[in-house]
């Protein structure tokens, strides 16, 4: 039973005084209400809190007995009840300061899902774009909202239909819906894979979104074949560092990385044959031809890159704007150069492929900084500078 209770820093005296029944995923406010404040200052308040705590414990123990579980040891009285977890949530769209650490209920598990104790997550630009409300047509306005898509952690429970994972397995995944900035996450079995054994949870959490985006952009959208040449615009960022390595694995004959001069040696160490300093040279003007231009940054266009693409060359962007989709569609109707927009499709097969390449020593994570969950505001602030080298990781489980 001890493993079913989450260790915490909530003291016995206030362990339950501010808790009530909340719908799944709804945050419990950390600020005290006037009523709670009055109770906290009175002997009656102490008695009520102790009574409420004892009643909750008795109900929990009764439930345990009914389900044949062992009773909890004394340490669970010092922690948080097992259905609670800490998460970084937002109650409205806005700056990094809208992110708050709150107590929420663990996600309800569906029959095809895993309940995962999250050891680490990572930040991707889509996270802070969602936080700012830039994608509100997709995300809506239902708050509180837990952000984050990348997960590395340990399975603690599985749904009735899950036969390929068991409690104790370590996995990594890209969630179909945001919810990774939390101590626990519900993960569909279809998007989870065993964690690479050669990686820590922090290193593995950097992989799913960024590496699968790079893989699907080059292999599926660019249809990269052995012997072709590739240019990666934004080669030192999260997606770019994986794109360099994946292009090498897929057999590209020459890989050019566009980045700042200070990151040139790193990009070369990942497999780039040539590095262009964007501050000194415009790659669209140097006359070199590339079979595929993967514009990770998304600050160029097909029209700008026409001169550096051969007649059947492919330009791939990460920017899912309506105008880009329209141009992509139009190029499918005509012969010649193609314009592709990468939309990540979460799946286990790609994670297994990446796991194999990682364990073979052909792909590695580049982690710029690691922040604890409590410093999620600082992590988002740094990510928004768009100067991170590789990935920004969030350490969650203690």
CA dist 221 and 168 (Å) reads 36
* Residues 215 and 191 placed together within one structural domain of the fold: no
* Residues 220 and 337 placed together within one structural domain of the fold: yes
Out of 16, 47, 78, pick the residue that ends a domain. 78
356 domain residue, yes or no: no
Which CATH number fits the domain that encloses residue 376?
A: 3.90.180.10
Cα 191 to its chain centre, rounded Å, is 13
Which CATH number fits the domain that encloses residue 242?
A: 3.40.50.720
In the structure encoding, which two tokens stand for residue 284, read together?
Answer: 């669209």
CA dist 322 and 327 (Å) reads 9
359 domain residue, yes or no: no
| pLDDT confidence of residue 321 | 85
Peptide bond into 144 cis (omega under 30): yes
**Nearest to 255, CA basis, from 213, 300, 246, 263:** 246
* Residues 261 and 333 placed together within one structural domain of the fold: yes
CA dist 239 and 252 (Å) reads 17
CA dist 6 and 76 (Å) reads 8
| pLDDT confidence of residue 42 | 43
Peptide bond into 254 cis (omega under 30): no
* Residues 45 and 19 placed together within one structural domain of the fold: yes
- Element (DSSP H or E) covering residue 324: helix 322-332
* Residues 331 and 369 placed together within one structural domain of the fold: no
Alpha helices in 104-165 (DSSP H): 125-132, 136-139
| pLDDT confidence of residue 74 | 34
| pLDDT confidence of residue 41 | 43
* Residues 334 and 375 placed together within one structural domain of the fold: no
7 domain residue, yes or no: yes
* Residues 173 and 253 placed together within one structural domain of the fold: no
Alpha helices in 75-200 (DSSP H): 125-132, 136-139
Which residue range(s) make up the domain with 31? 2-78
User: 128 to each of 94, 171, 342, 379, 397, how far by Cα in Å?
Assistant: 9, 25, 19, 10, 22
* Residues 32 and 70 placed together within one structural domain of the fold: yes
294 domain residue, yes or no: yes
* Residues 241 and 181 placed together within one structural domain of the fold: no
* Residues 143 and 217 placed together within one structural domain of the fold: no
| pLDDT confidence of residue 121 | 98
Q: Which residues contact 236 (CB under 8 A, 6 or more apart)?
A: 257, 259, 260, 263, 266, 267, 389, 390
* Residues 142 and 178 placed together within one structural domain of the fold: yes
Predicted TM-score (pTM) of this structure:
0.80
In the structure encoding, which two tokens stand for residue 168, read together?
Answer: 């104790």
| pLDDT confidence of residue 35 | 43
* Residues 150 and 164 placed together within one structural domain of the fold: yes
Q: Are 278 and 259 in contact (CB under 8 A)?
A: yes
349 domain residue, yes or no: no
- Element (DSSP H or E) covering residue 113: strand 113-123
122 domain residue, yes or no: yes
Q: Are 157 and 167 in contact (CB under 8 A)?
A: yes
Out of 23, 53, 78, pick the residue that ends a domain. 78
121 domain residue, yes or no: yes
355 domain residue, yes or no: no
Out of 78, 95, 130, pick the residue that ends a domain. 78
Phi, psi of 202 (to 5 degrees): -65, -45
Q: For the chain, how many structural domains are there in total? A: 3
- pLDDT by residue for the chain (398 residues), tens only, comes to 333 322 333 222 323 233 333 334 444 444 443 443 344 444 444 444 444 444 544 454 455 444 433 333 333 333 444 578 999 999 999 999 999 999 999 999 999 999 999 999 999 999 999 999 998 888 888 999 999 999 999 999 999 999 999 999 999 999 999 999 999 999 999 999 999 999 999 999 999 999 999 999 999 999 999 999 999 999 999 999 999 999 999 999 999 999 999 999 999 999 999 999 999 999 999 889 999 999 999 999 999 999 999 999 999 999 988 899 999 999 999 999 999 999 999 999 999 999 999 999 999 999 999 999 999 999 999 999 999 999 999 999 86
CA dist 229 and 308 (Å) reads 11
């Amino acid at each position: 039973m001890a493993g079913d209770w989450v260790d915490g820093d909530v003291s016995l005296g206030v362990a339950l005084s501010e808790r009530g029944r909340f719908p799944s995923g709804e945050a419990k406010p950390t600020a005290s209400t006037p009523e709670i404040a009055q109770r906290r200052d009175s002997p009656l308040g102490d008695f009520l809190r102790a009574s409420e705590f004892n009643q909750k414990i008795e109900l929990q123990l009764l439930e345990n007995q009914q389900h044949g579980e062992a009773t909890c040891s004394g340490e669970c009285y010092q922690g948080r009840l097992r259905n609670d977890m800490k998460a970084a949530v937002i109650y409205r769209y806005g700056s990094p300061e809208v992110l708050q650490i709150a107590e929420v209920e663990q996600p309800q598990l569906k029959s095809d899902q895993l309940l995962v104790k999250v050891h680490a997550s990572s930040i991707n630009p889509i996270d802070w774009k969602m936080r700012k409300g830039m994608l509100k047509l997709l995300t809506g306005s239902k708050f509180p909202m837990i952000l984050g898509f990348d997960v590395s952690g340990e399975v603690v429970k599985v749904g009735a239909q899950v036969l390929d994972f068991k409690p104790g397995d370590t996995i990594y995944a890209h969630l179909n819906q945001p919810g990774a900035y939390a101590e626990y996450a519900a993960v569909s079995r279809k998007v989870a894979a065993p964690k690479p054994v050669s990686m820590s949870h922090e290193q593995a959490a950097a992989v799913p979104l960024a590496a699968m985006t790079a893989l699907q952009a080059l292999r599926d959208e660019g249809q990269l074949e052995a012997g072709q040449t590739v240019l990666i615009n934004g080669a030192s960022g999260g997606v770019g560092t994986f794109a360099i390595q994946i292009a090498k694995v897929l057999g590209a004959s020459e890989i050019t990385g566009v980045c700042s001069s200070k990151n040139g040696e790193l990009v070369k160490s990942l497999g780039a044959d040539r590095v262009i300093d964007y501050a000194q040279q415009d790659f669209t003007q140097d006359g070199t031809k590339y079979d595929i231009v993967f514009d990770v940054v998304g600050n160029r266009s097909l029209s700008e890159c026409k001169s550096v693409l051969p007649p059947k060359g492919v330009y791939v962007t990460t920017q899912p704007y309506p105008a880009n989709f329209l141009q992509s569609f139009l190029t499918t109707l005509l012969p010649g150069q193609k314009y592709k927009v990468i939309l990540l499709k979460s799946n286990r097969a790609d994670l297994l492929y990446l796991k194999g390449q990682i364990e073979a020593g052909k792909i590695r994570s580049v982690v710029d900084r690691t922040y604890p969950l409590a410093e999620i505001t600082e992590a988002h602030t740094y990510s928004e500078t768009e100067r991170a080298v590789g990935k920004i990781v969030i350490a969650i489980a203690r």
